Structure 1
């Protein structure tokens, strides 16, 4: 229900911009990208039930970092972390993604099969690049998937990054791959199914415009 409301609000915002404020057709694509970026933030936090409150940039970065770390941990379900990852998560929680990624380079040098370290590095690199996928982050996501081929986490977080770039079809494929790798009794399965349904609905609405 919350996802449906979020999507409806995004669509209503776009319609208002076009119909009320007469945004010219050549700028519709730019408007769509702006709405996608807003939905992308919700794609991995999904906490619309929390009360809104103004935040300064430093606090917002720290809260985003904490949410990102918590989301990754939810997939790990209590699996042990290396000391590198623990220290890196501390920097990520404060929004210092450059240091977080730098520390994780040591983790993957020590253990190239540490999927969680590769994934944490990929996420940090994306945040360091202000939401943009880079060759380095794509490489880290790929290594995370290779190190843990049965894990849903690499495909899920790469899908989030794809949404932030407006690449919804690729994101949909990645999230469905993540769902296939998700155990039936996993705590996050229902939430992932809801996100996939919302993304599919969004793509249908965009295609129908």
Structure 2
């Protein structure tokens, strides 16, 4: 409601100023009023006159939201304990604070000690994607592929690599990553059903895309 009051007040003030200060000829009163009403109509169409004002003080965004659900899925598909688990636990703690760069650096420290740990490479891929706001950077791509190369049978790297690609809109690439995982997953397992459903949705979306895209 406040937005409407301000809009009408501004329009009325402008009209009065044109009349008093600008000494606008009477012949132009109607067309000027029509222009102001048109502006109000545009405000009603494109604006949010009923939206409560919320002044912002500075551009200081809060910490990135940590995806607890994805972290729990990773724990279910990868190592929870042992050396890798400790590094991943520390990285998750930093991620919850919005310190995505530090979360990735922790895993790099872990990889210096255990360069052939697929769980740490998987965690690094996820951390780099989180740091890049969902973008699969070349570093994240390398980390996922390294995890898959070290442990080809592990479901975690394929699952999260495909998830990150799908989040970027790389649907065909995500499907190609997921199909071998679906084929190897036990019948009746949750991950098999989830990915079968996801692949079916991808097929629908790909079929709906214009040719050449």
Name the TM-score class by shorter chain.
0.5 to 0.7
| Structure-1 separation of matches of 2:154 and 2:85 | 18
Instruction: Check conservation: 1:155, 1:174, Cα contact below 8 A.
Output: yes
Q: Does 1:119 align with 2:122?
A: yes
- Residue 168 of structure 1, CA deviation: 1.4
Instruction: Check conservation: 1:101, 1:124, Cα contact below 8 A.
Output: yes
Instruction: Check conservation: 2:171, 2:206, Cα contact below 8 A.
Output: yes
Paired residues in the alignment total 151
Aligned to 1:73, which of 67, 72, 75? 75
Structure 2 segments unaligned to the other structure (5+ residues): 1-60
- Residue 128 of structure 1, CA deviation: 0.7
Distance 1:77 1:85, change over 3 A: closer
Q: SS at 2:190's partner residue?
A: coil
Distance 1:174 1:74, change over 3 A: same
Aligned to 1:202: 205
Deviation per CA, 1:65-114: give whole Å up to 9, x if none. 32221121232385654321111121223332211110001111111221
Q: How does 1:185-196 map to 2 (within 5 A)?
A: 185-196=188-199
Q: Bigger shift: 76-85 or 116-125? A: 76-85
When the two chains are superposed, the root-mean-square deviation of aligned CA atoms in Å is 2.4
Aligned to 1:165, which of 164, 168, 179? 168
Instruction: Check conservation: 2:126, 2:140, Cα contact below 8 A.
Output: yes
Deviation per CA, 1:29-63: give whole Å up to 9, x if none. xxxxxxxxxxxxxxxxxxxxxxxxxxxx647x33x
Q: Does 1:95 align with 2:104?
A: no
Deviation per CA, 1:111-165: give whole Å up to 9, x if none. 1221111111101101111122222111111111112110122122222222233
What TM-score comes out, normalization by structure 1 length? Answer: 0.63
Q: Which has the higher contact order (CA 8 A, sep 6+)?
A: 1
Q: Which has the larger radius of gyration?
A: 2
Q: SS at 2:208's partner residue?
A: helix
| Structure-1 separation of matches of 2:150 and 2:179 | 20
| Structure-2 separation of matches of 1:95 and 1:183 | 36
Aligned to 1:110, which of 83, 98, 113? 113
Distance 1:77 1:92, change over 3 A: same
